[in-house]
Structure 1
Amino acid sequence: MDLNIIFATMNKTSGDISELIKAHIQALDPYAEVIILFPQGTGLHEEIQVYVFTNEKVDFSLEQQYMDARYKVEIQSGQSLSLYTYSKEEWHQQFSETPIYQRVHCEGVCL
């Protein structure tokens, strides 16, 4: 199979998933910041990492709402997701010196 066709398919799939994620997260919180890390490899079966940063304090109830949105996206797209939900304050204060913080902000796609 031609590599251009593979990459075009991946880009379309990535765009479709991004739109689904954005729609479901914004339905819960239109002010949430969403950053996506796509898998490093070329396999579409790998999990996409979704980071949601909200102005609200993240409690169990709020986290469950985001998990429900995650499941809806997974069902609609057939793509497995990892979802990480943080308050913006907590994320910047507690994680700013970590490698994942750097990776999210350098390699992530902001929706």
Structure 2
Amino acid sequence: MNKQSGDISELVKEHVQALDPYAEVVLLFPQGVSIHEDIQIYVLSNEKVDFRLEQQYLDAKYQVELLSGQSISLYLYSKSDWHKQFKDTPIYQKVSGEGVYL
């Protein structure tokens, strides 16, 4: 992990993971040299995902973007939905294999 990814990780811990310390938070960094790709944050919550919860995480994501100057995509799922509905998808495999768990 380079300095920038370490800085982003700290900001994500401070603003995103702090909303629910029991949620799994996984960072997926762009591969290669393209600076136009977003860092992806996958939040797997124990709670049912509803509008209120989604808004809290989006507010936290905006704080990370403002402080880091980096474009970020946030994906919020309940843990049960993620592990049941997505387990046979390429993105599930990529997040599981290449993601940085906080």
Give 2:41's match in structure 1, choosing from 50, 63, 68: 50
Establish whether residue 16 from structure 1 lines up as the match of residue 16 from structure 2: no
Extract unaligned runs of 5+ from structure 2: none
Give 1:87's match in structure 2, choosing from 59, 74, 78: 78
42-51 or 92-101, larger mean C-alpha shift: 42-51
TM-score (norm 1): 0.87
Establish whether residue 77 from structure 1 lines up as the match of residue 68 from structure 2: yes
SS in 1 for 2:30: coil
Identity within the alignment, %? 71
Distance 1:12 1:45 in 2: 19
Establish whether residue 65 from structure 1 lines up as the match of residue 56 from structure 2: yes
- 2:39–2:72: 8 Å Cα contact kept in structure 1? yes
Relative to structure 1, the CA distance from residue 46 to residue 77 in structure 2 (aligned partners, 3 Å threshold; closer, same or farther) is same
TM-score (norm 2): 0.94
SS in 1 for 2:25: strand
Higher Rg of the two aligned structures: 1
Count of paired positions = 102
Where does structure 1 differ by over 6 angstroms across 4 or more consecutive aligned residues? none
Relative to structure 1, the CA distance from residue 90 to residue 34 in structure 2 (aligned partners, 3 Å threshold; closer, same or farther) is same
- Higher RCO (C-alpha 8 Å, min separation 6): 2
AA of the residue aligned to 2:92: Y
- 1:32–1:52: 8 Å Cα contact kept in structure 2? yes
